[in-house]
């Protein structure tokens, strides 16, 4: 393996962001090295650029096996590398669902064959991944999965969720819950039960369908001692429940996505791209979510990357499939709309789409911890790099530090451009950021010390990278 010197860049460390040279050698990164270590080294001058641990997304849908027309392990991990990710966790709503060792082996084979970066599969909680019935073969699949989830379905039976948490706890694994109480739902619900739904005659998805299961599950987690992680938090009630649970010492964490932080139901359009589950909610929910990432209640940022075919997303709000893509837009959309500005300071509900008003040098000043918008750059990197690796056993460095694994991304914070879905590597094209101006570009992604993506050359696949 050739050595790479990343020269004169800024690096994200535990203390803050500062200038340093970084040497990549034998799947490790080094901040301390000698001139003798630099023989036969490829040098990149990164003046003004930022070097960070490879991003982590603990909530991604790769669709393989079962739905290869939507996405594959290959296309999804290429999209991830394009977005600066070096590790992702793949949700289990597949065909067949990874509920048995035999079923899981099909997903593991695809990952082994085609993954460009590290992929951690989830195992299902229930046998058919329907949130009810009987539990999956948790003991048999535990060693090969990152955690257990029935994402896409909420666990409808309290007794079964309690049994699942007890088993997961005994196996040293987390329960990762899509919280959706079906008894609270009306058939045909497609968007938040708010102003837009009422004005346009749509069946709404109420907030109680989420927070009631959050409330139940936090209680069970507290009683059993099980590690519990809440998927895609969207309501103000869920944020407050998690905040209070953490104050009591419950082993609970939570995530949210860029679309919930940037938009409200006032922004909705008659377009299938605006349909996801849970739905984009009201302004007060967005405010609670932003407060939650500001004070640490919400632990990490996810995309819920969920590709569908163009046809499946072309049927408007009521009939389109739930889900949008996000791996290739998460960092620039967050930098542009949350680090450089604060949506809560604006009277208009829509995301401010003006050219960024803060330069890279200003963002990087004082260790990247100065707050110019809703959150600092440092906080964004905590959400995307550090916290996921503290919650789950995921490879890669929490910070850029001597001797850490060489899973990193190189970022150009000054780059301003318009999002073009045709440049995506994912098979999906449904995004809320099409043609929007954003700031922040991934220049390079390194996995296991090897360059797998370059902004000019594209994907640098070469041989498949194995641990």
Cβ-contact 304, 275 below 8 angstroms? no
- Nearest-angstrom CA–CA distance, 239 and 254: 9
Among residues 245, 244, 438, 191, the alpha carbon closest in space to that of 330 is found at 438
Active site includes 150? Answer: no
Q: Where is 207: in which H helix or E strand?
A: none
How crowded is residue 346: how many other Cβ atoms within 10 Å of its Cβ?
A: 11
Cβ-contact 279, 228 below 8 angstroms? no
In the chain, DSSP finds a helix count (H) and a strand count (E) of 14, 18
Extract the tokens encoding 312.
Answer: 């499946």
Cβ-contact 122, 57 below 8 angstroms? no
Q: Determine which one of 217, 304, 352, 407 is catalytic.
A: 304
- Tokens 């909420």 belong to which residue? 154
- Nearest-angstrom CA–CA distance, 237 and 29: 42
Extract the tokens encoding 422.
Answer: 């045709």
* Phi–psi pair at 464, nearest 5 degrees: -70, 140
Cβ-contact 455, 441 below 8 angstroms? yes
Count Cα atoms within 13 angstroms, Cβ side, for 145.
33
- Nearest-angstrom CA–CA distance, 8 and 10: 7
Enzyme catalytic residues: 304
């Amino acid at each position: 393996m050739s050595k790479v010197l990343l020269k004169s860049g800024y690096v994200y460390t535990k203390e803050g962001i500062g200038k340093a040279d970084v040497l990549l050698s034998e799947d490790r990164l080094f901040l301390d090295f000698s001139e003798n270590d630099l023989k036969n080294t490829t040098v990149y001058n990164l003046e003004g650029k930022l070097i960070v641990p490879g991003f982590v997304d603990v909530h991604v849908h790769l669709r393989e096996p079962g739905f290869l027309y939507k996405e594959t392990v290959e296309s999804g991990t290429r999209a991830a590398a394009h977005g600066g990710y070096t590790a992702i966790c793949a949700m289990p709503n597949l065909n067949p669902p990874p509920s048995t060792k035999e079923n899981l082996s099909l997903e593991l084979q695809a990952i082994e064959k085609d993954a460009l970066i590290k992929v951690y599969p989830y195992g299902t909680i229930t046998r058919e991944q329907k949130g009810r019935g009987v539990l999956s073969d948790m003991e048999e699949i535990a060693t090969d999965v990152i955690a257990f989830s029935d994402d896409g379905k909420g666990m409808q039976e309290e007794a079964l969720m309690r049994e699942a948490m007890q088993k997961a706890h005994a196996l040293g694994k987390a329960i990762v819950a899509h919280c959706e109480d079906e008894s609270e739902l009306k058939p045909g619900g497609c968007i938040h039960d708010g102003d837009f739904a009422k004005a346009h005659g749509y069946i709404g998805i109420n907030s109680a369908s989420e927070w009631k299961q959050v409330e139940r599950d936090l209680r069970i987690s507290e009683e059993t001692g099980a590690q519990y992680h809440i998927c895609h938090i969207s309501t103000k009630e869920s944020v407050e429940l998690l905040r209070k649970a953490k104050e009591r010492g419950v082993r609970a964490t939570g995530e949210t996505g860029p679309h919930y932080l940037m938009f409200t139901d006032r922004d909705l359009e008659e377009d299938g791209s605006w349909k996801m589950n849970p739905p984009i909610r009201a302004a007060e929910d967005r405010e609670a979510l932003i407060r939650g990432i500001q004070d640490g209640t919400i632990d990490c940022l996810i995309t819920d990357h969920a590709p569908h075919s163009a046809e499946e997303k072309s049927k408007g709000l009521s009939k389109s499939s739930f889900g949008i893509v996000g791996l290739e837009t998460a960092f620039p959309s967050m930098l542009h709309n949350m680090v450089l500005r604060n949506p809560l300071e604006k009277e208009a509900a829509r995301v401010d789409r003006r050219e960024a008003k803060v330069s890279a040098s200003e963002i990087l000043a004082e260790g990247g911890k100065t707050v110019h918008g809703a959150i600092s750059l440092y906080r964004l990197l905590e959400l995307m790099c550090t916290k996921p690796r503290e919650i789950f056993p995921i490879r890669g460095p929490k910070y850029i530090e001597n001797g850490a694994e060489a899973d990193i991304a190189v970022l150009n914070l000054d780059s301003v451009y318009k999002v073009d879905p045709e440049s995506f590597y994912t098979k999906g094209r449904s995004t809320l950021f099409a043609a929007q101006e954003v700031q922040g570009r991934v220049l390079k992604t390194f996995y296991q010390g090897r360059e797998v993506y370059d902004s000019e050359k594209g994907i640098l696949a070469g041989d498949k990278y194995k641990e």
